[in-house]
Chain A
Amino acid sequence: MDLLNAIVVLLNFVVIPAASYGAQLALGALGVTLIYGILRFSNFAHGDTMAFGTAIVILVTWAMQAAGIGLGPLPTALLALPFGIAATAALVLATDRVVYRFYRRQKAAPVILVIVSMGVMFVMNGVTRFMIGVDEIRFEDGARFLINATEFRKMTGLKEGLAFKTSQALTIVTAVIVVAALFWFLNRTRTGKSMRAYSDNEDLALLSGINPERVVAVTWIIAAGLAVIAGTLYGLDKAFKPFNYFQLLLPVFASAIVGGLGNPLGAIAGGFLIAFSEVGLTYAWKKVATYVLPESLAPDGLLQILSTDYKFAVSFALLVVVLLFKPTGLFKGKAV
């Protein structure tokens, strides 16, 4: 019984939150890694792209709620998602046209593009705040829980409850579908293959007649889609606040780099690795330990390795370790 209780606690406080957070990071990191693989720079504006897209999703959600449109138990934001993606894709394509294309034509060094993307980041940041404000916004509606803690206790007779939020389940399911679709696209379709070819060897891709501008445009659209989906899922799971999305940039980049920049599989693995490390290292293990260990060994302290305030330090530390010992990332991406 104690062991079951321990497992439930672990699921409730570590596995489920980390899995959904990991899925969010993975989706974000996929966008970063695609941009890196094709456009050859680290897009610092990705966090704010997520924020912008989510802001649009929220505005459309409000409009739908006012009009009485909903999805029943599922959050209305899902219906608003396509609008958010369309608006964000339009924004990044316009940005590419106005800003990035110029530097691409100059064959600018990647580091210059990184700085350029920081400029874009500040602009997007401002636009988002101007549009929707800086406050925390909760826009989740529909059924809040898939499994409720009290009901779970009653049902199983265990002392510990298990809560599984709709948004968490949705995150994991959506992430699986999106990742499967993305891999299918990259590995099976002509356009997807041409993107990989362009990422592999730009000059040879040109010789083969692949149109670089088209590849770039498709990349931006996919990256925008991934960013908005990741941002919306994160907002549903936690809450929307522009500054948090800006901060999310660090774990997202850490995921992409730890997995190997330019390698989509690495981005996913990196996302989950970062998420589980963050949650695992900042979780107070006392409860689990009390259940598992014999009474004489029961811990006095909280068994929390780091305060939750330090969760970003975990991403940083992992990032530094990987860069020191395996600069191309765990899955052999391109070097940073």
Chain B
Amino acid sequence: MSSTQNPWQEDRGNKDRSITRPGGSEIIDPETGHEAHPAPGTPFLLAENMTGGYGAADILHGCTLKVEKGQIAVIVGPNGAGKSTAMKAVFGMLKLRQGRVVLDGKDITHLSPQDRVAHGMGFVPQVNNVFPSMSVEENLEMGAFLRRDDFRETMEQVYDLFPVLKEKRRQPAGELSGGQRQQVAVGRALMTRPKLLMLDEPTAGVSPIVMDELFDRIIEVARTGISILMVEQNARQALEIADMGYVLVQGANRYTGTGQELLADPEVRRTFLGG
């Protein structure tokens, strides 16, 4: 990765300033600050009527996403549909002018991304999602930085899920292949024992075989009771494993249904899946 980059340029972080934007959404109520509120009777994750964008123009227009416990939800759609933006909005990385985000019965609309991690969200960015000079094991340790208890058990679980990581645990993550690096990234996010794991195009740039393997692992993660929200370019394969699929067009929900329903829908097939 680094060999193709210009050595004269800086390379650090994933160039997404919104991740570190302190204070979460712009519509912060000073009274509530960083507290989450109970919001009973909602799905495990409810991101309702999200409207907003990075600057003056809105990218999302009343987008709604729901994920039930232990289920896999996939966001698909054409380029520029706001798929990643929708996920970043769920994670508190951009301004929401309207709407709310509820996780596990708590309204977290006003929390910063870091606070959302503490509340049980795990986020795997699309690129630059590992600490390249640190070993695989250290990457996982850093994932567990917020935890003060013994996290060795979680680390063993991650190693069980991705056996190749155990083999390479002393190797710097930057020296691994693309697929292995994605496994490190997912493993790092799992170290906080999240209730909701968000993956931004986890299969971008990996071979079809590795992609299938990653999807299998993601199903395994979901079986342990962790909800998964995923943005995917490989729409067909992703919908096959999805309990719930969202087709976004221009920042709004176009089609919603179970993965199989969407795959069977002739309209969706024709417009988004290429026949």
B146: shortest Cβ distance to chain A, in Å? 4
CB contacts (< 8 Å) of A328 on chain B: these are 7
Q: With a 10 A CB-CB cut-off, give which of B10, B12, B128, B141 has the most chain A CB atoms.
A: B12
Q: Once the chains are docked, how many angstroms separate the CA of A110 from the CA of B118?
A: 31
Contacts of A193 in B (CB 8 A): 134, 138, 141-142
The answer to whether B114 touches A203, judged by C-beta atoms less than 8 angstroms apart, is no
B1-26: CB near A (< 8 Å → 1, else 0) gives 00000011111111011011000000
Closest Cβ of chain A: how far from B176's Cβ, in Å? 14
**Would you list which residues of chain A between 180 and 224 have a CB under 8 Å from chain B?**
190, 193-194, 196-197, 199-210
Q: A-facing mask of B31-59, CB < 8 A → 1, else 0?
A: 00000000000000000000000000000
Query: Is B125's CB under 8 angstroms from A204's CB?
Result: yes
Q: In the complex, A40 Cα to B11 Cα: how many Å?
A: 11
Q: Size range of the interface on B?
A: 20 to 34
Count of chain A to chain B residue pairs whose CB atoms are closer than 8 Å in the complex: 91
Task: Tell whether A327 is near chain B: CB-to-CB under 8 Å.
Answer: yes
* B7 contacts A327, C-beta separation under 8 Å: yes
| Cβ proximity bits B136-149 to A, threshold 8 Å, 1 near / 0 not | 00100111011000
Contact B8 A202 (CB under 8 A): no
Question: In the assembled complex, which residues on chain B have CB atoms less than 8 Å from the CB atom of A209?
Answer: 114, 117-118, 145-146, 192
Could you tell me if B131 and A200 are in contact, using CB atoms closer than 8 angstroms?
Answer: yes
Contact B131 A204, beta carbon cutoff 8 Å: yes
A190: chain B residues at CB < 8 Å are 141, 145
Contact indicator B16/A200 (Cβ below 8 Å)? no
Q: Is the CB of B114 within 8 A of A197?
A: no
| B23 CB → nearest A CB, Å | 13
The SS class assigned to the A binding surface is: helix
Partner of B123, one of A40, A207, A210, A335: A207
Interface contact A203-B19, CB-CB below 8 Å:
yes
Q: Given A200-B133, A208-B188: A335 and B7 within 8 A (CB)?
A: yes
Question: Shortest distance in angstroms between A106's beta carbon and chain B's nearest beta carbon?
Answer: 12
- In the bound complex, what is the Cα–Cα distance between A207 and B161 (angstroms)? 22
Q: B90: shortest Cβ distance to chain A, in Å?
A: 14
- The answer on a CB contact under 8 Å between A335 and B146 is no
B129 proximal to A (CB < 8 A)? yes
Give the CA-CA distance A209 to B189 in the complex, in Å: 11
How far is A206 from B21 in the complex, measured between Cα atoms in Å? 10
Q: Does A101 belong to the interface (CB within 8 Å)?
A: no
Across the interface, A110 reaches (CB within 8 A) one of B10, B17, B113, B125, namely B10
- Contact of A335 with B8 at beta-carbon distance under 8 Å, contacts A206-B20, A207-B114, A208-B145 already known: yes
Which residues on A sit within 8 Å (CB–CB) of B17? 107
How many positions in chain A have a CB within 8 Å of any CB in the partner chain? 24
Q: Nearest chain-B residue to A105 (Cβ)?
A: B22
| B14 to A, closest residue via Cβ | A203
What's the nearest-Cβ distance from chain B to residue A233, in Å?
A: 29
Q: Which residue of B lies closest to A200 (CB)?
A: B131
Chain B proximity of A192: nearest CB distance (Å) = 10
Complex interface: chain A residues within 8 A of B132 (CB): 200-201
Determine which of B9, B11, B16, B143 lies in contact with A203 in the assembled complex, contact meaning CB atoms within 8 Å.
Answer: B16
Among B10, B113, B118, B130, contact of A201 (Cβ-Cβ < 8 Å): B130
Contact B117 A207 (CB under 8 A): yes
Chain A residues within 8 Å of B13, by CB: 201-204
Q: B15's closest neighbor in chain A, by CB?
A: A203
Residues from chain B with Cβ under 8 Å of A210 in the complex: 142, 145
Q: Which residues of A contact B114 (CB under 8 A)?
A: 206-207, 209
CA distance A210 to B13 in the complex (A): 14
The CA of A334 and the CA of B11, in the complex, are separated in Å by 8
Instruction: Give the residues from 148 to 196 in chain A that come closer than 8 angstroms, CB to CB, to chain B.
Output: 190, 193-194, 196
What are 22 pairs between A and B in contact, CB < 8 Å?
Answer: A190-B141, A193-B138, A193-B141, A196-B138, A197-B134, A197-B138, A197-B142, A200-B12, A200-B131, A200-B132, A201-B131, A202-B20, A203-B125, A204-B13, A204-B14, A204-B128, A206-B114, A208-B146, A208-B188, A209-B117, A335-B9, A335-B11
Interface residues of A (CB under 8 A from B): 40, 107, 110, 190, 193-194, 196-197, 199-210, 327-328, 334-335
| Nearest 4 A/B pairs, CB to CB | A209-B146, A200-B131, A203-B13, A202-B13
17 further A-B pairs in the complex, CB-CB below 8 A; given A110-B10, A208-B143, A208-B188 = A40-B12, A190-B141, A196-B133, A197-B145, A199-B133, A200-B12, A201-B13, A201-B130, A202-B12, A203-B14, A203-B128, A207-B19, A208-B142, A209-B114, A328-B7, A335-B7, A335-B9
